[in-house]
Amino acid sequence: MARIDWDEYKEYKNYTPRKDNFEILLEFIKSYYNTNSPTEIFNMLRVDDVAQMMLEKRNISDAEDLENFLFKL
The half-sphere exposure of 40 on its side-chain side, counting CA atoms within 13 A, is: 9
The pTM of the whole model exceeds 0.75: yes
Residue 73 predicted with pLDDT over 90: no
Q: Is 19 helix (H, G, I), strand (E, B) or coil?
A: coil
The tens digit of pLDDT for each residue in 18-66 reads 999 999 999 999 999 999 999 999 999 999 999 999 999 999 999 999 9
The alpha carbon of 55 is separated from its chain's Cα centroid by a whole number of angstroms, namely 9
Burial class for 71, CB neighbours closer than 10 Å (0-12, 13-18, 19+): exposed
Q: How many CB atoms are closer than 10 A to CB 60?
A: 21
Alpha-carbon radius of gyration of the chain: 11
